[in-house]
Amino acid sequence: MKPGQFTYHAPRSADEAVAMLAALSPQEGRVIAGGQSLVPAMALRLAMPAHLVDISGVAELARLAVEGDELVIGAAVTHSRFETSAVAGPLGRLLAGVARHIGHYPIRTRGTFCGSIANADPASEWCVVAACLGATMVARSARGTRRVAAADFFQGMLATALASDELLIEVRLPRLAAAARWGFYEFSRRPGDFAVAMALATYQLADGVIAAPRIAVGGVEDRPRRIAAAEAAIVGASPSAALLQAAADAAARAVAPIDEKAETVNYKRDVTRAAVRRALAAAAIAEDQRA
């Protein structure tokens, strides 16, 4: 479990990082930020990059700020920055609530939000957040900068729309309305483990009925995604136990777990059902009423 040989590069600016990537990506160069996924993969020699471009020391990439209606998360922003509310309003509280589920504290002090997004593990909490809320990924390379919607960004297990010379320079999350409700539920074997299944739900209540629901599931399919059938089950209706169950049932039917064994597929469906119902139930409790 010693990594193969590599050359380490420490750019001082985003421009330098992008320039390095342009030069080194054809030579098996890769970006490293917190290294919480890449370093174990290197130790197992599942990843053998010849060059590492370490962006964790680039100050301008550690920016976490609100721009208009978006929260802008720089490439070097660590998970732990979200543990206390990173932005006023429900989005900050949502991110804090989710962050607690990511690995363990030492992991959260090193691993980065954008690193999780770029790694695209199906069981990544941030990928579920990005899919659910409709994040915009900003990719930059020497060829220019482009924006990719979450639905287009995640392309499969550990697969994204990023080209090898592109740096995911920031992720932009739309701020939630002040009255937005949210709930997150994750089941894993142990706290901090990869999820067996997890669900994130947000909606607003307009005149007592559910509006603008977003329900996303992670850890089950090869990428996290919103579950339209579950959202359709609740939109325009008043929250009730039966309604939440209907949405959960719809989600369980809609997902296609990636496991090969039938018993595992069935189990994953059932845990999906529980996760969606529990996330919705959490959302149904106004934030000031929560324990």
Contact residues for another protein (CB under 8 A)?
1-2, 4-5, 40, 44-45, 187, 189-194, 196, 263-264, 267, 270-271, 273-274
CB of 285 to another protein, least distance (A): 19
Question: Token pair for residue 19?
Answer: 């320039």
Beta carbon nearer to another protein, 67 or 263: 263
Question: Token pair for residue 5?
Answer: 């040989």
Beta carbon nearer to another protein, 98 or 138: 98
Beta carbon nearer to another protein, 17 or 195: 195
CB of 267 to another protein, least distance (A): 5
Q: Strand 181-188 and strand 167-174: pairing?
A: unpaired
CB of 185 to another protein, least distance (A): 10
Beta carbon nearer to another protein, 47 or 267: 267
Beta carbon nearer to another protein, 225 or 273: 273
CB of 196 to another protein, least distance (A): 7
Q: Strand 181-188 and strand 195-206: pairing?
A: antiparallel
CB of 5 to another protein, least distance (A): 7
Beta carbon nearer to another protein, 1 or 291: 1
CB of 268 to another protein, least distance (A): 9
Distances (CA, A) of 4 to 39, 47, 49: 11, 9, 8
The phi-psi region of residue 156 (left if phi > 0; otherwise alpha if psi is between -120 and 50; otherwise beta) is left
Cα–Cα–Cα angle for 90, 150, 262, nearest 5°?
100
